[in-house]
Amino acid sequence: MAHKDQDHRILLGRIAGAHGIRGDVLIESYAEVPQDIATYGPLQTEDGAQSFEISIVRVTPKGVIARVAGISDRTGAEGLKGRRLYVDRTQLPAPEENEFYRADLVGLRAEDQAGNAIGTILAVQNYGAGDLLEVRLTGSPKSELVPFTETYVPVVDLAGKRVVVVLPAADESKNGEP
């Protein structure tokens, strides 16, 4: 089965902007350990048209300060703002048990506990209080955000390309109790 190149790539970060006058950039890193973004080799743009070799200068609360090979001034660094940084999937370690790459979850079929299709995973979001699966409901343009916890997502079956989802609205019988 042939895959598009993008199917083999994982988003690791985004260049948030220039930092200082020497061409350093601020990177919003999505790696579990932020500075590890530089350990996987050259990073590419989504379309693969550009490749960046980065070296970490330091980690700050706002993100990772890095140098990009070939960029030596603020103007060059400002030109990179907004670039999303990807790495080939083969460069990453296999996830631990009960850990998943977000890209593995997108596109999976969402089912209820009886095995009935309820939708498709559109995205994995995180607004600061933990990961949420965005589920596009079958036959509807609406999507539902579901906490990515064992309570609401008790089964993740990557081989079967499905997840079991307990929609929060269907769980109101607990009257807010965990």
**24 and 52 belong to one structural domain:** yes
136 domain-assigned: yes
96 domain-assigned: no
**86 and 161 belong to one structural domain:** no
pTM (2 decimals)? 0.67
Query: Which amino acid, 109?
Result: R
Alpha-helical runs (H) found in the chain? 74-78, 102-105
What domain range is 50 assigned to?
Answer: 5-91
> CA–CA distance from 118 to each of 10, 37, 102 (Å)?
26, 35, 20
User: What is the model's pLDDT at position 10?
Assistant: 87
Query: Could you read off the pLDDT of 97-133 as tens digits, one per residue?
Result: 888 888 889 999 999 999 999 999 999 888 878 889 9
**20 and 39 belong to one structural domain:** yes
178 domain-assigned: no
Average pLDDT over every residue of 139-150: 92
Query: Could you read off the pLDDT of 43-76 as tens digits, one per residue?
Result: 999 888 999 999 999 999 999 999 999 999 999 9
**62 and 106 belong to one structural domain:** no
Give dist(CA 33, CA 38) in Å, integer: 11
177 domain-assigned: no
**26 and 87 belong to one structural domain:** yes
Last residue of a domain, one of 91, 119, 147: 91
Distance from chain centroid for Cα 165? 20
User: 95 versus 150: which is more confidently predicted?
Assistant: 150
Q: What is the CATH number of the domain that holds 25?
A: 2.40.30.60
Average pLDDT over every residue of 156-165: 94
User: In the beta sheet, which residues pair with residue 56?
Assistant: 66
**67 and 112 belong to one structural domain:** no
Q: What is the CATH number of the domain that holds 159?
A: 2.30.30.240
**54 and 10 belong to one structural domain:** yes
Give dist(CA 40, CA 171) in Å, integer: 41
59 domain-assigned: yes
Query: Could you read off the pLDDT of 8-28 as tens digits, one per residue?
Result: 788 899 999 999 999 999 999
Last residue of a domain, one of 68, 91, 114: 91
